[in-house]
């Protein structure tokens, strides 16, 4: 295969040398196109010796050969590693001010970027927007690894290891080209079912699971929510390009296994994969309503969308003794006084932590003599003030803890704007379809 390896100006450029050698060892023809800044880190002779091909940075180096068009058109795959913030900004803007950016515009093959930069630069809204633009255009932007960066800082921003970049890039062109000894199936994204990237660049916060209100150090008031619908929402959003934070309250064991959630109270923990082959999402584990409220509000400040899929206890014990409540023979049970919990969804809907934020709730309802499931849902939609409420009927094996779900999506006025039944993932996608219509 004919591969163009772009190298841009960051300290991680030395890893491009290892990537080049790996690709050559696998039998690919590789032409290196560094930027001027990249040559400050690694000299052209190194790239020329290892690739066996000439190296130039400028469009003017071989004018009669119209290099940029010839290289771009003749390539089967373009990999840029490391990709700096500056390079991604230029690529997103469609600039063509050196041989690498001009070649990118001429290329019609898959393009893979492996960014490397300090965490602050990776998190900056300008970089997020550029990454989103590139992804929307079909460019594969690999998530940077987390760990030691240049200097004393650590965090997301490290260039992934050359083997990982090669595996992900080659799998994009043809899975059969990937050296089987390098394959970690959880890292290879399925390429045959491209999701719409209509949440690219959006930050979403999703609460999942059910809260536990402590009665004493060993007992709690809880509910049967497994967290499956919340996880499905996180998976669907991540697959559609969103930057996802999952606030996970006491997930069922099999669901916890899926997200590899962090220990309780550890705060946002960066990468946890939402499912095999899917982009990672940040997970914050909580137990009580108070913890859930704090976590949702902390993450919600920067969010474009907040979805409250967690089953939140309406009441909590007024006080929690530090010692276990003892059973005193002959005295009967000690009464537990309950106080009302704040309604997190209603607070978020009425306050709006961020201008233009879309707030979504779920309402698990049963019909009774005072109204149908939908009528109760409508009343709730108006009372809560959320932009969307997904109403589902619970009881008789439906809703809580089950594999499938059936929802009617209402807007804030209680009018039906969507309907979905099937797997929780299908329901999740229907909710995101409705959310996308409300995003500016
Ligand atoms: O009032 P009800 O519990 O049926 O409302 C369900 C919706 O409200 C869910 O989206 C749930 O996450 C949210 N909720 C909340 N805070 C509460 C109770 C429910 O955010 N105290």
| Closest C-alpha to 314, from 383, 211, 387, 227 | 211
Region 372-398: mean pLDDT is 87
Query: pLDDT value at position 173?
Result: 76
Instruction: Give me the pLDDT at residue 175, please.
Output: 54
In the numeric block, which tokens belong to residue 39? 């040559």
Q: What is the 3-state secondary structure (H, E, C) of 161-179?
A: CHHHHHHHHHHHHCHHHCC
Q: How far apart are CA 52 and CA 29, in angstroms?
A: 9
pLDDT value at residue 171: 82
The residues, ordered by sequence, that sit 6+ positions from 422 with a Cβ below 8 Å of its Cβ are 404, 405, 406
**Ligand 1 touching residue 308 (CB < 6 A):** yes
Which of residues 313 and 405 earns the better pLDDT score? 313
- The crossing angle, in degrees rounded to 10, of helices 67-74 and 99-106 is 50
How far is ligand 1, taken at its centre, from the CA of residue 431, in Å?
17
392 strand-pairing partners: 364, 407
- Look-up: residue for tokens 């393009």? 111
Q: Which atom of ligand 1 is nearest to the CA of 289?
A: 21
Q: What separation in Å is there between the alpha carbon of 384 and the centre of ligand 1? A: 9
- pLDDT-derived band at 269 (thresholds 50, 70, 90) equals very low
* 210: nearest Cα among 358, 399, 5, 421: 399
Tell me the pLDDT band of 422, cut-offs 50, 70 and 90.
confident
Strand partners, 148: 154
Cα–ligand 1 centroid distance for 240 (angstroms): 26
**Tell me, what's the pLDDT at 183?**
41
* Count of residues in the chain: 440
DSSP character for 303? -
Specify the CATH number for 203-436; select among 3.10.250.10, 3.40.190.10, 3.40.50.10300, 3.40.20.10: 3.40.50.10300
C-alpha 47 – ligand 1 centre gap (Å)? 59
Query: Has residue 80 got a pLDDT over 90?
Result: yes
Query: How far, rounded to the nearest angstrom, does the alpha carbon of residue 215 sit from its chain's CA centroid?
Result: 35
Q: What is the pLDDT of residue 247?
A: 95
Predicted pLDDT at 68: 75
Average pLDDT taken over every residue of the chain: 87
H/E run at residue 390: strand 388-393
- The C-alpha angle with vertex 335 and arms to 330 and 341, in degrees rounded to 5, equals 160
CATH topology assigned to domain 2-183? Rossmann fold (3.40.50)
Confidence of residue 220 (pLDDT cuts 50, 70, 90): very high
Check: CB of residue 32 under 8 Å from CB of residue 47. Answer: yes
Q: Is the CB–ligand 1 distance for residue 339 below 6 Å?
A: no
Q: In the chain, what are the domain boundaries?
A: 2-183, 203-436
* DSSP for 273-286, written as a single string: ESSTTS-EEEEEEE
Cite the DSSP H helix spans in 79-192. Answer: 85-93, 99-106, 119-123, 125-136, 162-173
Confidence of residue 113 (pLDDT cuts 50, 70, 90): very high
Ranges 185-189, 283-287, 289-293, 320-324: which has the least confidence: 185-189
Question: H or E stretch including 231?
Answer: helix 228-239
* Tokens linked to 268: 């946002």
Q: How far apart are CA 393 and CA 408, in angstroms?
A: 9
By the 10 Å C-beta count (0-12 exposed, 13-18 middle, 19+ buried), 387 is classed as: buried
Query: Phi and psi at residue 386, in whole multiples of 5°?
Result: -75, 160
Report strand pairing: 213-214 vs 220-221. Answer: antiparallel
> What share of the chain in percent tops pLDDT 90?
67
Q: Contact 206/246 with Cβ under 8 angstroms? A: yes
Token output for 346 = 């209603």
Query: Residue 168: what pLDDT?
Result: 87
Given a contact cutoff of 8 angstroms between Cβ atoms, the answer to whether 282 and 246 are in contact is yes
> Would you state the pLDDT for residue 33?
97
Check whether 224 has a pLDDT greater than 50: yes
Same fold, 2-183 and 203-436: yes
Which protein residue has the closest C-alpha to ligand 1 atom 6? Answer: 363
Q: How confident is the model at residue 415 (pLDDT cuts 50, 70, 90)?
A: very high
Average pLDDT, integer, range 23-39: 95
Average pLDDT over residues 81-91: 97
Closest ligand 1 atom to 314 CA: 21
In the structure, what pLDDT confidence band is assigned to residue 394 with cuts at 50, 70 and 90?
confident
SS3 content of the chain, % helix, strand, coil (to 5): 35, 25, 40
Mean pLDDT of 201-215: 96
Whether the CB of 78 sits within 6 Å of ligand 1: no
pLDDT tier at 50, thresholds 50, 70, 90: very high
In 10 A of CB 418, how many CB atoms? Answer: 18
For residues 411 and 388, the answer to whether their CB atoms sit within 8 Å is yes
Range scoring the smallest mean pLDDT among 4-13, 92-101, 171-180, 404-413: 171-180
Token pair of 52, please?
A: 């066996």
Threshold 0.85, pTM exceeds? no
- Any ligand 1 atom below 6 A from CB of 345: yes
Checking if the pLDDT of 400 tops 60, the result is no
Tokens of 48: 């020329």
CA 309, 202, 138: angle at the middle one, nearest 5? 120
């Amino acid at each position: 295969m004919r591969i163009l390896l772009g190298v841009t100006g960051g300290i991680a450029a030395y890893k491009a040398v290892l990537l080049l050698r790996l690709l050559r060892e696998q039998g690919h023809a590789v032409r290196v196109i560094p930027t001027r800044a990249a040559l400050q880190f690694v000299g052209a002779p190194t790239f020329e010796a290892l690739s066996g091909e000439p190296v130039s940075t400028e469009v003017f180096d071989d004018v009669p050969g119209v290099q940029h068009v010839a290289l771009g058109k003749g390539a089967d795959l373009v990999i840029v590693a490391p990709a700096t913030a500056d390079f991604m900004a230029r690529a997103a803007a469609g600039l063509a001010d050196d041989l690498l950016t001009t070649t990118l515009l001429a290329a019609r093959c898959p393009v893979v970027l492996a960014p490397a930069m300090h965490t602050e630069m990776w998190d900056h809204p300008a970089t997020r927007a550029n990454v989103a633009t590139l992804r929307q255009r079909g460019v594969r932007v690999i998530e940077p690894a987390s760990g030691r960066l240049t200097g004393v800082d650590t965090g997301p921003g490290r260039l992934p290891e050359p083997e990982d970049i090669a595996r992900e890039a080659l799998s994009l062109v043809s899975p059969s080209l990937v050296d089987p000894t390098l394959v970690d199936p959880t890292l290879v994204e399925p390429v045959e079912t491209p999701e719409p990237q209509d949440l690219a660049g959006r930050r979403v916060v999703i609460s999942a699971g059910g809260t536990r209100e402590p009665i004493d150090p060993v007992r709690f008031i809880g509910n049967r929510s497994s967290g499956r619908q919340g996880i499905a929402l996180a998976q669907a959003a991540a697959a559609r390009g969103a930057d996802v934070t999952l606030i996970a309250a006491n997930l069922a064991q099999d669901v916890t296994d899926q997200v590899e959630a962090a220990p309780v109270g550890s705060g946002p923990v960066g990468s946890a994969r939402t499912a095999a082959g899917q982009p990672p999402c940040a997970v914050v584990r909580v137990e009580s309503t108070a913890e859930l409220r704090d976590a949702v509000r902390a993450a919600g400040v920067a969010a474009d969308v907040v979805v409250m899929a967690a089953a939140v206890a309406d009441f909590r014990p007024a006080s929690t003794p530090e010692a276990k409540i003892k059973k005193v023979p002959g005295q009967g049970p000690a009464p537990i006084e309950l106080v009302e919990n704040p309604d997190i969804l209603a607070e978020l809907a009425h306050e709006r932590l961020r201008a233009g934020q879309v707030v979504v709730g779920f309402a698990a309802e049963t019909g009774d003599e005072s109204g149908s499931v939908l009528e109760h849902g409508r009343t709730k939609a108006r009372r809560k003030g959320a932009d969307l409420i997904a109403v589902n009927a619970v009881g008789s094996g439906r809703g809580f803890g089950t594999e499938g779900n059936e929802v009617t999506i209402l807007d804030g006025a209680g009018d039906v704007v969507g309907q979905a039944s099937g797997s929780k993932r299908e329901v999740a996608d229907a909710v995101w379809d409705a959310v996308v219509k409300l995003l500016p």
